[in-house]
Structure 1
């Protein structure tokens, strides 16, 4: 007697739009964007208005998105990108799994940058700028008007340095690291001096000091505070400027172009320029001797108090805490530290906001003879190392993956031609 043959079954499993969106971790509109790009096929529901999707196709796309690290973060559908560089968790942040504050307070900026790029600690690391790159970058920067902002100077210097590098299109790891080790000191070397002779040798923080401070001979504690500030600011996960860098790198822009993209974003008042606003607020408090009337004027004008409250930290920004501790060792920083504490305590009467690194940077710049815009320069120079790390990581991913779909809300076509 023959075995009974199984009855034929419909093995194709179909998902509704809602089910497909949930499996992919995206909005329903994005499911149809996948269809328009040919990444999914759909079938109209018989007698209905909706569509169904092959479960196998959806599951395959979901696995591919997870593998490539692109999708929904689970918090409002924001873009999330898988990275091995920085983790922010429980009011702390880590570089390649190591506490970032510990790294920044025990190692130089150059050493922390090398750790971020390679995962190796190279004691005594120094960055040297090629004379040809410095010459062309300085000529470009010197041609700008005096009122040019720090981001303008650095962006022009970056573009100029790129023109002097015929190997800039080599995106191999060794070539990108070589670019990083020469671009950062070139940017510092291109900046005009702050009233006295440029210093072009020694640790990067010493060279940067001569571009920012009117104090010709800094004490060791001040130099250490500047170097630590650079190391603390080297990266902070996918900040707006870093995302711009990764988008550029996804399109295979060379490192100079990727850094230029970051510099274009960092100029925003809610990002790299925030410390300048905090510096001016701090100076007003120092001039008046009391934070209360200054805070009142800011709020009356409808302005947000700069240097307070970071969306990623419930308590005090760990970068601010570390920098404040170093500034306490500098006697001339005491008035600015007291003014900063007055700002925090005055604001805390109604809103429990903690100091951010922008306020700590303001204390550094205000007490060390630097202009309000100096914090933006420190931020941009420091973050260049992090941008290179993210560009290098993105070069190892699928090209052009950073391509979200717009949610169209305009009039439905076809519309008549305009008269």
Structure 2
């Protein structure tokens, strides 16, 4: 298989694993990158009642990992510089494991938030470096396919977590047991990535040797970052409050969890096929505008007629946001000249977008506390989706790539 790497020592390292072995290793980590967020919303009212949390503080359980994904993203390339990108991802997988275990003892509010924070740091490092590794280890004509596959794995974990959060809590007798049970999936990620890290780390990645500064002066980087910020605000706010919205409308917690699972299932479908199609499309704006339009239609549907077609709204929003998010990851590869530049663009993009997006779940929870309903949330998200479309129009093919 053609790869974009070169030996960093006089002795040639062992060849990289086959294409599909590397994809499996990538998926083993990616499947854990959204579980921390989506395992909470179906249980959020139970957690709030058990710990005496306001809706704003409960929203922080989803917002905190997103905030970590922004604040710690710039540190990922520096960690990769010191230990190698694949070993840095291994460290992040261990952090996710330890954080998930800590959440299993969430009867103590400090441990619940501390575990969420630690998992968020791990998610930040892995999420920032995976686009760099895709650009480094896979040929350009397979970037969309590989991005789609790990996006599907990431959202697959999210779907599973939202669907079984309540049944797990019932079976294990507590919401703490439900949150802590995901440590099994996190442990598998560590076990599968570790052998790949030992095999791949000796292969030098262009740009890894010098982390460099973030591309603050690049108009392209700012355009990508603002697009990601708007999309992520909608994405994480929807994940946090979609199920509670329908509990508010009289659905059972388990039923709302299944509805959220349909929402994330649609994200898997579009998250996989969006990047694959992008391999054959020169102008990304076509796909970005279709994605935004689907999300806007679904959000206004939930706002105006939530009970008219809840499964349709779940699926339409999921299709739009899944493709928009996965295409955003493609932008981090397409608008970078080298793997190192991709890491720096990812660091800046994630710092901007996730720091802003982390406010979303918290702000929506605060609005619910103030006015007593989540209905207006979907009006706000629909308007943000329209602004997202306007920014997407600026992502023309001729933009200067980040160096």
Larger Rg: 1
Larger RCO (alpha carbons 8 Å, 6+ apart): 2
Higher relative helix content: 2
Q: Same fold (TM over 0.5)?
A: no
The two structures have a TM-score, normalised by structure 2, of 0.29
Q: Which has more strand, going by share of residues?
A: 1
